[in-house]
Structure 1
Amino acid sequence: MKTTGNTIFLTGGTSGIGLELARRFRDLGNTVIISGRRKDLLEKIAAEDHIDGIELDVADPASIAAAYETVTAKYPDLNVLITMAGIMQPEDLRNHDLALSEQIITINLLGTIRTVTAFTPHLRKREDGVIMTVSSGLAFVPLVMTPTYSATKAAVHSYTQSLRHQLDLQVIELVPPAVQTTMLDQENDPHAMPLAEFADETMQLLQDNPDADEILVNRVRFLRDAERENRYADVVAALNPPA
């Protein structure tokens, strides 16, 4: 993936990693469009950061279809899709809230699949078309307090591998570690990676490795490489200490 001269549509770009990467791509000379559910927040970002935005609820197939029509009509040079939208919630499986699990699956997994499906025909017409999915280090070692989130990210990883083999365009998987964002109230968590540091390393990896299949900052390799390095059981125990 080239890191300048793109037209990028990034879902879930109104906060956290999504917004920070949108700003970094903008600063490198890309046209960036973000999406979110809150019109007021999109308007605020457009005014302050000069990043265009459209309303999109990735849990709603009709909203995805409408976003596709809007983005491709206004930005026919669109060549990069980044599926950042997602939610993370703790769950107690001894007193299971099935509706919450279904919501997480709908947004994180079905939202990714539906968005990719909508935009793939357009991107395949571009010689420089790119799809970037976003999984997590928890795709490889689960955080047991977020079982459905971890499972959806494992599914996104698997789905991304199939995309890469079936499509005639570049498919990249971004694999974040825990990052200091509002997700799971990690803004001030000393064990999470500072957001600016994550964005710095991610953008450098993209610039240094234009043909990369996975983007892995060093902090996530503890999780990503656990099974292949025969550390899986120890890492599960370290990530999920007894209460």
Structure 2
Amino acid sequence: MKPTGNTILITGGGTGIGRGLAEAFHKLGNKVIIAGRRKQVLYETTAANPGMASTVLNIEDPADIRKVAAQLAKDHPALNVVIHNAGIMRPENLLAQPETADAEAIVTTNLLGPIRLTAALLPQLQKQPHATIVTVTSGLAFVPLAITPTYCATKAAIHSWSQSLRYQLKSTNVEVVELAPPYVQTELMGSAQAADPRAMPLNDYINEVLEIIKTQPKATEILVERVKPLRSAEHSGTERYAAFFNQFNDAMNHPD
């Protein structure tokens, strides 16, 4: 991915990692459009970053995705990058939750959202000299956090889907890059996460991601050092992976 000279759409760009990426790419001189459900959050971010644009997008609504994609093609004909950052993460007690509303919402936002938005934007991306689709997965795509099973499953699915999409687009002008964050200080799971000392500071994460993009423009996976133990855990063999999985989940459930 080129670090400059882009017109970039970032979903979930008003908060957390999305906002961090939006501001970093904006400072590099890219044209950045942030998208999300909450108009006030988008306004606050664009007001703090003059020249940044925004659009309200309900990533759960297929009709709204198509409408926004069509409008983006008109308003930003040079759009050549989409970063699928929007996502929700909710704890689920599978023994005590007979309803599946949370699971369905997570699948709709985290999995169907990127699939639908890619389909809507692909004709526009293919018109550009060079384009990039960035899927945001997670270290939890490779070692799931058991208290958030559907979230982890959607990230594993997007990892798999990204590989297939990359293969299908290999003879086109559109590259596919996967960004897999570790545990980062955001409010994805509430305010406690933003202050959790076990989580990577957001600014540190954004800075390391940008350094990888600048120094490894052909990378298909963007992996900061702190996520690599999760990414490579399965390569250690079944028994070691099982032990790692249990230790990881025990530590996350019992931080003390």
The two structures have a TM-score, normalised by structure 2, of: 0.92
Q: Distance in 2 between matches of 1:161 and 1:175?
A: 13
| Matching of residue 203 in structure 1 with residue 204 in structure 2 | no
Q: Which amino acid aligns with 1:158?
A: S
1:121-171 CA-to-partner distances (Å, cap 9, x unmatched) read: 111121211100000000000000000000000000000000000012210
Counterpart of 2:71 in structure 1 is 70
Counterpart of 1:240 in structure 2 is 249
Runs of 4+ off more than 3 Å: none
Counterpart of 1:46 in structure 2 is 46
Q: Distance in 2 between matches of 1:133 and 1:95?
A: 32
Contact 2:15 2:41 in 1 (8 A): no
1:187-237 CA-to-partner distances (Å, cap 9, x unmatched) read: 011111000000000000001111110000000011000011334212211
1:3-57 CA-to-partner distances (Å, cap 9, x unmatched) read: 0110001111010000000000001110000001111222222222122110001
Counterpart of 1:14 in structure 2 is 14
Work out the percentage of aligned pairs sharing the same amino acid.
49
Counterpart of 1:137 in structure 2 is 139
- How many residues are treated as equivalent by the alignment? 243
Contact 1:223 1:235 in 2 (8 A): no
Q: Distance in 2 between matches of 1:47 and 1:223?
A: 37
Secondary structure of the corresponding residue to residue 94 of structure 1: coil
What's the RMSD between the two structures over aligned residues? 1.1
Q: Distance in 1 between matches of 2:199 and 2:5?
A: 32
| Matching of residue 154 in structure 1 with residue 143 in structure 2 | no
Which of 181, 192, 209 is 1:176 aligned to? 181
Contact 1:202 1:217 in 2 (8 A): yes
Counterpart of 1:221 in structure 2 is 228
Counterpart of 1:118 in structure 2 is 120
Contact 1:135 1:173 in 2 (8 A): yes
Q: Distance in 2 between matches of 1:86 and 1:213?
A: 21
Q: Distance in 1 between matches of 2:107 and 2:235?
A: 27
Question: Unaligned stretches of 5+ in structure 1?
Answer: none
1:56-104 CA-to-partner distances (Å, cap 9, x unmatched) read: 0100011111110121111100100110000000000001230110000
